[in-house]
Amino acid sequence: RKEVEQDPGPFNVPEGATVAFNCTYSNSASQSFFWYRQDCRKEPKLLMSVYSSGNEDGRFTAQLNRASQYISLLIRDSKLSDSATYLCVVNPPGGFKTIFGAGTRLFVKA
């Protein structure tokens, strides 16, 4: 089983749609979680940290489910500019490891 698993998509959605991505992780002792956004031929940029209580930033909501070992990202009212690859990141204990999911490609169309 991969340490972090993420549906690569692509997800094709119309503007205004709500879309959700999940990411599962195998190490139950993992301690910090993040979502990054990466545009084509650019570096990954932090979108949100994921907290145990869940957190929201505008149209974006991130949640952590430790019991089922997954994190989620919900995007409401999708914009054309949301088209990108979304990478989940999990930090398991030991060794400064930062593990990326494979990335989910999102295409928002007019």
Q: What does the radius of gyration of the chain's CA atoms come to, in whole angstroms?
A: 13
66 scored as a contact of other proteins (CB under 8 A): no
Taking the CA atoms of 77, 86, 12 and 23 in sequence, report the sign of the dihedral they define.
Answer: negative
Length reported for the chain: 110
Q: Does 2 bind other proteins (CB under 8 A)?
A: no
If one counts every other C-beta atom within 10 angstroms of the C-beta of residue 34, the result is 19
Report the DSSP beta bridge partners of residue 35: 48, 88
Please report, as residue ranges, which positions from 14 to 53 form the binding site for other proteins (by CB under 8 A).
31-32, 34, 41-46, 49
Residue 97 in contact with other proteins, rule: CB under 8 A: yes
Q: Is 3 or 17 the residue whose CB approaches other proteins more closely?
A: 3
Footprint of other proteins (CB under 8 A): 31-32, 34, 41-46, 49, 87, 89, 91-98, 100-103
